Structure 1
């Protein structure tokens, strides 16, 4: 029996392989997917049926309890093989629908992945209910118990359910998909989306660290998707010296003409080049334009070229880019030396008072003064000299 089962399984496998090769030459992709999904479960069915027949033969010669459940095992095995076939077919369909090589207009990978997960969940839940019915359990009772237990589970796992429904909203609204660069102005979330699960979304930050964000977060924050931008913006303020005010009109004209003729600047978008304001130490020119590319590296190369050409235009008029400067106005300096003080005319009204005042400028301590309060000439010499 075992040898016969192995032979039949080998034949079935070879037949399905030949059919796969034949159907691969057609334009229909779904027959290839179905045959590929069916091959392994078909071989499994042959082995399951072989074991069932062998068990029935053995049952005639033995009363072991294990042989009494042959029919139940066969039914559960067939259900499991059907689930396996559908599971494999869903995986094949997922790869077909999201493949640009197989579809003219491939579906969004995030949507395909969401539908695939939902279909597999339906298959598994349905199979579980059918198996329980096969084993003799009442499905209505199970569903009633599930309704009561679901309330308790809902309160206990509210965060888990919030993440689940948050992931469902991401799948339905599709604010981003796998491979998009996203950022949030509300939180420090920025990077490339790697995976969108039912509970967590995996984001790879620009320093190559994985960031795991619960899906419930996306229901309460704003999310930017720079991957879907149509252009990149160049917005700069160029300062010119006040000495070059006579040339500013010509400089503005040449910069605008250069941008309009630049092959990497999208002239269909807003383009502004204007003298903007009198700043503290410069005459400011606003440059506002958009590039055709959205690629990050190429954008910076274009921006560098634009800025260098602006610098050349400014230099061609003998003007210069301004830098912060200040002009300090000082009053006439005041001389504080003694000779200047001595040459000034003295006020006679204070002569008597000045003569009686001790000359403390020439003495270092009180011990150097005589009884009248005047400096001791024997110690310091002639003070008038």
Structure 2
């Protein structure tokens, strides 16, 4: 037993002495290569900072970490090959496949980082629609991921033609099993392509209790931040079956009010209507190119009603209310200028005095005649 242990220890010592030098050399070479890359990266970074073009900075930033992984990963695989071949005394063939997977992974990682950097840069410039930029970047990421996955499968000996044939049958099974997921995916595709709304838009649906600001449009769901700051997660398939209103794309905002004055002020009604219309036509925040109507509209139960119908130039919600307030205050001032008043619900009861007195006299005569008849009957008794 002791002889076997001693023999194993001797073999282990010979194995370590044989391969330790190679592994240490590879590790030292990797360290030197990494230090050289750090120096080169810093020099290139200083050069790209001086240029006015932003794309070289984005590419260099995307290269930094993948190259570091390649510098340490490739020698690591070689060292692993030395260890396994020395221990088993056979050549390990699958290490070459592992090296190719490493290269593909590094290239894929670089492309994904580059696409993300470009996406952030374009969004920061605010020259392109954010929703469109995000949609294109997602499609590009998906494209490179699929290409890398197919290449890796082919390196393992998987037949792509057989895989595509199987995907036709398997697609039906997956389609039935994940129909809701696919429905949300294609719903997201429709939202990205047709663009009924984009990130930052205020949207609402008359069909559903959905209203708020679009915060993110994903492939499965859209995040809408309601006005009380609650997140609302809406599956994309919902947008295929509901009506979506996008107030953010309004060209104007409407002021539509019915103003009533008293019946006693009917003589100045025409002048009030004329002055209000003139005020709106000269108002700086009213869009006179749109429909503008100020007319006596109806005989109300307790007022003479005027319709004021116009549009503001601004579509901003806060600014719109400021303009509307100013318009209403000026309408009040015009009514007061003509010594009229805004009507409020009232009821007037008219009684004919002659008719009321006649009824009183007849009732009084009837009561007096009745009393005389009673007194005569008592005298006869």
The interval holding the TM-score normalised by the smaller chain is 0.7 to 0.9
Asked whether 1:131 is paired with 2:136, we answer no
Q: What is the CA-CA distance between 1:40 and the residue it aligns to?
A: 0.9
Q: Equivalents in 2 of 1:144, 1:64: separation in Å?
A: 41
Q: What is the CA-CA distance between 1:59 and the residue it aligns to?
A: 4.7
Residues 65 and 166 (structure 1 numbering): CA distance in 2 closer, same or farther, change over 3 Å? Answer: farther
TM-score by length of structure 1 reads: 0.84
Q: Equivalents in 2 of 1:83, 1:343: separation in Å?
A: 116
TM-score by length of structure 2 reads: 0.84
Equivalent in 168, 177, 180 of residue 198 of structure 2: 177
Equivalent in 276, 298, 302 of residue 323 of structure 2: 302
Larger of the two Rg values belongs to structure: 1
Give the helix-richer structure, 1 or 2. 2
In structure 2, what is the equivalent of residue 221 of structure 1?
242
CA deviations on 1:1-57 (whole Å, 9 max, x unpaired) are 223212211221331232133123223222222111111111111112221332344
For the aligned residue pairs, the C-alpha RMSD in angstroms reads 2.8
In structure 1, what is the equivalent of residue 104 of structure 2?
79
Deviates more, 1:218-227 or 1:49-58: 49-58
In structure 1, what is the equivalent of residue 173 of structure 2?
152
In structure 2, what is the equivalent of residue 41 of structure 1?
66
Equivalent in 78, 81, 88 of residue 53 of structure 1: 78
* Aligned-partner SS, 2:228: coil
- Structure 1 contact 55–67 (Cα < 8 Å) conserved: no
- The runs of 5 or more residues in structure 2 that have no matched partner are 1-25
Residues 239 and 132 (structure 1 numbering): CA distance in 2 closer, same or farther, change over 3 Å? Answer: same
CA deviations on 1:65-111 (whole Å, 9 max, x unpaired) are 8955321211111111111011101101211222226xxxx221101
How many matched pairs?
A: 350
Equivalent in 38, 43, 46 of residue 18 of structure 1: 43
Equivalent in 7, 29, 33 of residue 4 of structure 1: 29
Deviates more, 1:299-308 or 1:325-334: 325-334
* Aligned-partner SS, 2:42: helix
Deviates more, 1:58-67 or 1:24-33: 58-67
Could you list the runs of 4 or more consecutive aligned residues of structure 1 that deviate by over 6 angstroms after TM superposition? Answer: none
CA deviations on 1:308-354 (whole Å, 9 max, x unpaired) are 11111101111000111222234627669x98754125898xx9xxx
Equivalent in 349, 352, 355 of residue 328 of structure 1: 349
* Aligned-partner SS, 1:98: helix
Q: Equivalents in 2 of 1:160, 1:182: separation in Å?
A: 24
Asked whether 1:234 is paired with 2:259, we answer no
In structure 2, what is the equivalent of residue 100 of structure 1?
125
